[in-house]
A and B are shown apart, each in its own frame.
Chain A
């Protein structure tokens, strides 16, 4: 039986100093605790508490613990209703705001318009909030290393000194992608989703088991995404085994794999060899670049997928999978009772998200997000 002493940074990154690491631990711990509590019943009914979700720093993980990876495709499912592949690839490459599967990317082209590099990130924005506030020089250095040597401090910070998640170097699909910025792509939302999905739902005497019926009832995300219903289904499936569940440390979203079935490079080389992780440790990569080394006489745009050249970053996203990892223990021992109704706002009350207070982190260096980002993180935002 063990607890961990502190939640570590995503990908076991080594950017932060002591203050940042402490702030990060507080942020994740508080987010988990808030997710365990769930929303106030005055705001949402039948969605709290979540007794099968636990905090790794406070509750012991039992010896029967098993890890479960949940994986999904990075290409945004909500764009799949396009009539042609070209349409959906164009739409996905057009804006970071539609890249809502916890993976965002930016495409670099040469003078002839051919793709030379595609940068993928699954780093949550909260990590960068903390890093930029506690180690601004490091944040600037990382931008200069991974995005452009010409990045200026004033590009990243507002007049009040706050870090700008959506800055000129991290706000498009062409200028670079340092971390996630799509509104629903936050670690807070990941934690909230996983916690909410631990609630078993028995409706009309039948226990819900399907991904779509669970998300429709639990209202923890958007049913049309790849990620939200799948995460919820897997987590709930573990909950139905009467286990306690936590997100594994380090909490984060990670690259699972790039499949290259049907890919061909002009020189016959392995197309997967051009997929390089740039941040995160080997088991928890958070930044990947697809780029052909300069000493080859071809570029990414010359590689074909089932006979078709790569013209869009989204074509690669079709083959990228993202993952999170949960840990389950005390299997068969939870006494938590299922909810017998679906989550819903109380009668006559408008649903208003509960306030998430970043103030608790201030003594540890976490200065909080912008006021418009300070409410409970959920995957329900567009």
Chain B
């Protein structure tokens, strides 16, 4: 475990094993004050002073305003004030998040609130170039800053008494540092907001205000007084994800060749990361007499990619909804509760917004969207891949299996997808019809003029059956089990930092992973495609 993971100046992650922070704190003493260090997890053994040439090569605003000027801001306020004094990035937006933000302090006085600020700074008329994550006491302080020359985000972390460059966007994709250090959450190199869609669970937003006692000293904090809703941050993060995707694609296609085709197509075939979605309904307001509960669309399929980006002409006009009574019954039936062991906190019920689930990540979809828009991947190829096991938009072993056919060496941009398709189709000839290869081959056999309508008909038929199934007790309970199965897959990722992000249930820990089928039934997960 590297210093980055063990430092006491890392954000408290209640879902992770407790790190040996005391020993790490001793290592802080070896950091040289007044020197930018580099410490890329998986690459560097520990933070080491960055060379003068490397420092001079950093063109992001954090490096330019502070480190290259010999300035070492130690608090969030120091960073923001320093930018202001330098007349850099004057447009500031402040956001706030807390997984305990909807649990009133008088209800759980021993529960740590873990309030954090996210602050963006931008030039007038431009997307933000610098994002800061910290807490009101600056116990941790991290920065993502856009380098317009290198076309990457640089990531920095304050480890007292100095700062450490923890890598850039490319580090997220490099095998030695992928998934390590800060790239456990910046999985593909971009800035991240897990709860990216309305109601932006845990964030202060127009959907929910974080609860503070009337006399909480935070009310006097100038940054708190400027907090705006996370609905704005969603737009910012989506724009910044696209910025990095655009830069990345421009760099990996060179002279007609695609470098690291597997790095790109794993974002089509696999779940490199997820976003968290939920209903927009406060769980405690749901009672037997409430109206229908519209489950998150991302639970059913990857609609953003298939419908919004690839244009399947789906006829369904509404998202499947369940009678509220079934949801309310399920909370008791499965023993839903919120708990944080570190604080010895436990309370019956679901998360504040009902039915949180992992859904296909915006950053995965954005890569696919831009690959298609730039003509690097035919829309038909992307759709044929995503329609394999499409009822399981995340954590699909079937789709992931098709990565077997994606080369790792550079390939010609003109033919790489048709070559991959040909390899899968050839393999399908000797495999069962319900194999992932078989399903892809059937999809691929559709003529160019018909694939959209055929896929749309499948989606419509599926949504109709699913909508009927969740109106039954057994159908809704199956969906509850499936949602928990997917939540547990998320909990196995380092992206899962906080116990209170998700509910805990009585569903046995060794329950088999589940999958959704096209007839709306839920069964044990297999490696096959859609039955």
Are A307 and B369 in touch, CB under 8 angstroms?
yes
B136-163 at interface with A (beta carbon < 8 Å): none
Are A216 and B308 in touch, CB under 8 angstroms?
no
Are A84 and B209 in touch, CB under 8 angstroms?
no
Are B318 and A259 in touch, CB under 8 angstroms?
no
Tell me which residues across on chain B come within 8 A of A295, comparing CB atoms.
none
Tell me if A71 counts as interface (CB < 8 A to partner B): yes
Tell me which residues across on chain B come within 8 A of A3, comparing CB atoms.
none
* Range class of the B interface residue count: 35 or more
Q: A82-B317, A83-B319, A226-B206 are in contact. Are A306 and B239 (CB under 8 A)?
A: yes
Count the A-B residue pairs with Cβ separation under 8 angstroms: how many? 99
Chain B residue with minimal CB distance to A256? B228
Are B317 and A212 in touch, CB under 8 angstroms?
no
Are B307 and A259 in touch, CB under 8 angstroms?
no
8 Å CB contact of A213 from B231, B232, B282, B316: B282
Are A84 and B308 in touch, CB under 8 angstroms?
yes
Tell me which residues across on chain A come within 8 A of B318, comparing CB atoms.
81-83
8 Å CB contact of B282 from A72, A211, A272, A319: A211
Tell me which residues across on chain A come within 8 A of B240, comparing CB atoms.
261
Distance (whole angstroms) from the CB of A172 to the closest CB of chain B: 23
Are B228 and A261 in touch, CB under 8 angstroms?
no
Are A81 and B209 in touch, CB under 8 angstroms?
no
Q: A86-B308, A262-B235 are in contact. Are A209 and B127 (CB under 8 A)?
A: no
Chain B residue with minimal CB distance to A319? B235
Q: Looking at A81, A240, A257, A332, which has the most chain B CB atoms within 10 Å of its CB? A: A81
Are A73 and B206 in touch, CB under 8 angstroms?
yes
Tell me if B102 counts as interface (CB < 8 A to partner A): yes
How far is it, in angstroms, between the C-alpha of A84 and the C-alpha of B301 when the chains are bound?
Answer: 12
Distance (whole angstroms) from the CB of B44 to the closest CB of chain A: 33
Tell me if A338 counts as interface (CB < 8 A to partner B): no
Contact with A along B263-305 (1 / 0, CB 8 A): 0000000000000000011101100000000100100000100
How far is it, in angstroms, between the C-alpha of A307 and the C-alpha of B249 when the chains are bound?
Answer: 14
Contact with A along B220-236 (1 / 0, CB 8 A): 00000000110110011
Are B209 and A233 in touch, CB under 8 angstroms?
yes
Are A237 and B209 in touch, CB under 8 angstroms?
yes
Are B242 and A306 in touch, CB under 8 angstroms?
yes
A214-240 at interface with B (beta carbon < 8 Å): 216, 226, 230, 233-234, 237, 240
How far is it, in angstroms, between the C-alpha of A88 and the C-alpha of B366 when the chains are bound?
Answer: 20
* Range class of the A interface residue count: 35 or more
Tell me if B115 counts as interface (CB < 8 A to partner A): no
Tell me if A49 counts as interface (CB < 8 A to partner B): no
Tell me which residues across on chain B come within 8 A of A306, comparing CB atoms.
238-239, 242, 366
Are B303 and A210 in touch, CB under 8 angstroms?
no
Are B211 and A209 in touch, CB under 8 angstroms?
yes
Are A83 and B307 in touch, CB under 8 angstroms?
yes
Are A210 and B285 in touch, CB under 8 angstroms?
yes
Tell me which residues across on chain A come within 8 A of B208, comparing CB atoms.
210-211, 233
How far is it, in angstroms, between the C-alpha of A77 and the C-alpha of B232 when the chains are bound?
Answer: 15
Tell me if B325 counts as interface (CB < 8 A to partner A): no
Tell me which residues across on chain A come within 8 A of B369, comparing CB atoms.
307
Q: A83-B297, A210-B102 are in contact. Are A307 and B307 (CB under 8 A)?
A: no
Tell me if B214 counts as interface (CB < 8 A to partner A): yes
Tell me if B29 counts as interface (CB < 8 A to partner A): no
Tell me if A273 counts as interface (CB < 8 A to partner B): yes
Are A272 and B125 in touch, CB under 8 angstroms?
yes
Distance (whole angstroms) from the CB of B278 to the closest CB of chain A: 13
Are A83 and B317 in touch, CB under 8 angstroms?
yes
Tell me if B250 counts as interface (CB < 8 A to partner A): no
Tell me which residues across on chain A come within 8 A of B280, comparing CB atoms.
77, 80
Chain A residue with minimal CB distance to B374? A307
B365-418 at interface with A (beta carbon < 8 Å): 366, 369-370, 373
Are B303 and A242 in touch, CB under 8 angstroms?
no
Are A262 and B211 in touch, CB under 8 angstroms?
no
Tell me if A85 counts as interface (CB < 8 A to partner B): yes
Tell me which residues across on chain B come within 8 A of A211, comparing CB atoms.
207-209, 282
Tell me which residues across on chain B come within 8 A of A270, comparing CB atoms.
125-126
Are A230 and B238 in touch, CB under 8 angstroms?
no
Tell me if A241 counts as interface (CB < 8 A to partner B): yes
How far is it, in angstroms, between the C-alpha of A77 and the C-alpha of B316 when the chains are bound?
Answer: 19
Contact with B along A57-89 (1 / 0, CB 8 A): 000000000000001110001001111111100
In the assembled complex, 6 residue pairs joining A and B whose CB atoms fall closer than 8 Å, in A order, are: A72-B231, A83-B297, A83-B303, A213-B284, A259-B235, A261-B236
A residues with CB within 8 A of B: 71-73, 77, 80-87, 209-213, 216, 226, 230, 233-234, 237, 240-242, 257, 259-263, 270, 272-273, 306-307, 318-319, 321, 332
Given contacts A82-B318, A86-B308, A213-B282, 20 further A-B pairs with CB under 8 A are A71-B206, A77-B280, A81-B294, A82-B319, A83-B303, A210-B102, A210-B352, A211-B207, A213-B285, A230-B206, A230-B207, A259-B232, A260-B125, A261-B128, A262-B127, A273-B125, A306-B238, A306-B239, A306-B242, A307-B370
